[in-house]
Amino acid sequence: MNQKLSDWANLAEIVSGVAIVVTLVFVIVEIRENTEAIRSSNRQSLASRGEQHMLARTESPELAQIVEKATSGQMLSVAERWIYRGYLGAIVRLTEEAYLQFEEGRLDEAYWLRNARAFPAYFGNLEARDTFAFWDSVGVLTPGFSVWATAEITEMWGDAGSADSPRRISVPGWSPEPQESLRQ
């Protein structure tokens, strides 16, 4: 009788071990599917925001003229400069969000690389590079993104601009000196 109970106990241990392995495989599959769903959702969100940004430029003749003026090296008025910097700001924030999602594993590498290649092209004029340098100098960019973006812009254009440029618009309360409290 004890032998039969012992056999049943051994069989129960084997069955429970198999059940644990099957459960772990199921959990792994679910985690992978969930990760891919998150990545897909993030791709879709970034693509939608990118499309909105492109539509704003194509649907606004004023913005299109300002971008054309800036990219051809013409002087911008103060109002045009603010509009252009807002346009650039949207590009920077969209790319920074994609960078952070990629770094956190929430965006797949192929999507990130396709979109990252276009980023430095927006900074082909000194106005754009100086604007980027100013934002970087006041600490509004995350450190990892700042390093990556500066390297990409410098590789394509030879420099990443100057935060001390005379074209810089002063912002009350902001200094071209890095502010530690903003970098944390």
Q: Determine the pLDDT at residue 184.
A: 36
Does pLDDT of 7 surpass 80? Answer: no
Would you tell me how many other CB atoms lie within 10 Å of the CB of residue 28? 10
- Residues 20-62 pLDDT 10s: 887 887 777 777 777 777 766 765 675 566 666 666 666 788 9
CA 22 vs CA 17, 33, 50, 125, 165: distances in Å: 9, 17, 42, 58, 63
- Range picked from 41-50, 120-129, 169-178 for highest mean pLDDT: 120-129
Report domain extents, the chain: 48-183
- Residues 67-111 pLDDT 10s: 889 988 888 998 999 889 888 988 898 898 889 888 888 888 888
| pTM confidence score | 0.64
